[in-house]
Amino acid sequence: MSGERVPSWLDEGTPGLWLNPRARHAAEDEWENGTGYEEALNRFRNWRGSLAELHPDFARTNGTVDSPLIPARPLQPDHLDGENGTLWIKGDHRLPVARSVKARGGFHEVLEHAEALLGATPTGGESLRRARRALAHHRLEVGSTGNLGLSIGIMGSLLGFQVTVHMSREAKEWKKERLRKAGARVVDHDGDYERAVSEGRKAAAGDADAHFVDDLDSRSLLWGYSTAASLLKEQLRRAGTAVGEQNPLFVYIPCGVGGAPAGIALGLRREFGGDVHCFFVEPVQSPSVLLGLLHGSPRPVYDHGLTNRTDLDGLAVPLASGIAVAAAGPRASGVFTVTDADAFRAVAHIHEAVGERVEPSAAAALPGPRMLTRTPEGRTYLERHALNGRIDDSTHIVWATGGSGAPEAEFNAWLNAAGGERKTR
């Protein structure tokens, strides 16, 4: 135990905001001083030509792995007071091919592993065809609740790998079907996320031709996620949105095992320094990263009497990644928890206000600005960091992490869960 008191609302499985006492505006550590961020950015640039040949989505983006920054002013009255800045949605639910935040990390690890096997980066054409023939003799294994499996399964299959995705009991059938159509093998496990990861690790053990993508301990995944920051910085610049000491940036990111939000926070800190404030969001029954940050190392949610039972399948993780907790430690400003009902309502609100289709796990971050500006804990954070006088000129980004590929029936079921059938666009 770190000695820090566990908030009563955490053990009770109710919503709340926890402020990270170890967050620092400047973190001089291996992550801050390493070269992984630049290497990941360069890797994606070098693969653009080949990616543009692999899939029509990539052809439309010239091989760039990026998503739109969506104005969300219609959502501000309920989630951010008009004088408290400007609200945006980062649309990773529209990332090419995999349609989730996991695309950057998953794609990056597959590309990095392919380079290691090939000894070079294919540039398209015949070099890409030779690469796919060579990679067909190698296997990828991964454990997932859904979105990471999609990113590894689809990209791995596109490059010719044999891919097996081990899915936890929370995984949705429509995601499994997408994987099968892409050419990946899906193995169901009657257990939680940890069980799926364990089975994937065992399946790859001892096979020189197999690579296990370890969501609990992968630097490649984290650096892949981090590349979102460079492109976001350019999007804000094009939108005429300043970020600086007088114009703070607040980012709210859904959190499962912790890799994606930790990686994004790494990149944002590299690009914006102490002017960015990152908050993670988890289900009330699965606050694995909050517990990891609070204790200083991963702890199972079961130890706190929590169930890990949630309809937010992408966030249903009982134990956080140790490497993600370490990377997020000085960079996560805080963590807030939400109920499933909160997330379903957010799905409907986002759709009605701005016409975007996101899944409940992706919509979970929408309460973030309200938690920051309208709760005692949030106001404490603003006061502690002398932000009250600068909140009028702030930017708030809710990270939408997936769901645009969901079938119509699934999306309508989410709307029903929000409180009744709503008109779809």
Q: Which residues of 204-217 are buried (b: 16+ CB within 10 A; e: fewer)?
A: beeeeebbbbbbbe
Extract the tokens encoding 182: 């892409």
The alpha-carbon radius of gyration of the chain (Å, integer) is: 20
φ, ψ dihedrals at 164, nearest 5°: -120, 125
> What letter would DSSP give residue 244?
B
pLDDT digits (tens, 9 = 90+) for 215-259: 999 999 999 999 999 999 999 999 999 999 999 999 999 999 999
Mean pLDDT of 77-83: 85
* pTM, full prediction: 0.95
Q: According to the model, what pLDDT value does residue 74 have?
A: 95
Mean pLDDT of 59-70: 96
Q: How confident is the model at residue 419 (pLDDT cuts 50, 70, 90)?
A: confident
Rounded to the nearest 10 degrees, the angle between the axes of helix 102-118 and helix 259-272 is 90
> Quick one: three-class SS letters along 131-146?
HHHHHCCCEEEEEECC
Does residue 273 surpass a pLDDT of 50? yes
- The span from the CA of 113 to the CA of 141, in Å, is 12
| C-alpha atoms less than 13 angstroms from C-alpha of 140 in its C-beta half-sphere | 38
pLDDT digits (tens, 9 = 90+) for 280-302: 999 999 999 999 999 999 999 99
For residue 65, the tally of other CB atoms under 10 A from its CB is 25
Q: How confident is the model at residue 1 (pLDDT cuts 50, 70, 90)?
A: very low
Mean pLDDT, rounded, of the chain: 94
Residue 144: strand pairing partners: 167
Least confident of 7-11, 51-55, 89-93, 147-151: 7-11
Mean pLDDT of 354-369: 97
Q: According to the model, what pLDDT value does residue 5 have?
A: 79
- The span from the CA of 307 to the CA of 285, in Å, is 6
The continuous run of DSSP H or E covering 210 comes out as strand 210-213
Strands annotated E in 270-408: 276-283, 332-338, 395-400
pLDDT digits (tens, 9 = 90+) for 38-54: 999 999 999 999 999 99
Does residue 425 surpass a pLDDT of 70? no
Greatest Cα pair distance in the chain: 61
Does residue 424 surpass a pLDDT of 50? no
The residue count of the chain comes to: 425
Extract the tokens encoding 247: 């114009």
3 state SS of 247? strand
The answer to whether the CB of 286 falls within 8 A of the CB of 310 is: yes
pLDDT digits (tens, 9 = 90+) for 122-146: 999 999 999 999 999 999 999 999 9
Does residue 3 surpass a pLDDT of 70? no
In this structure, which long-range contacts are made by residues 376-385, counting pairs with CB atoms below 8 Å and at least 24 apart in sequence?
Answer: 377/16, 377/17, 377/18, 377/19, 377/334, 378/17, 380/19, 381/19, 381/277, 381/333, 381/334, 384/19, 385/277
Extract the tokens encoding 228: 């979102």
Does residue 423 surpass a pLDDT of 80? no
pLDDT digits (tens, 9 = 90+) for 170-221: 899 999 999 999 999 999 999 999 999 999 999 999 999 999 999 999 999 9
- Looking at the chain, the whole-number percentage of residues with pLDDT higher than 90 is 91
Q: According to the model, what pLDDT value does residue 25 have?
A: 79
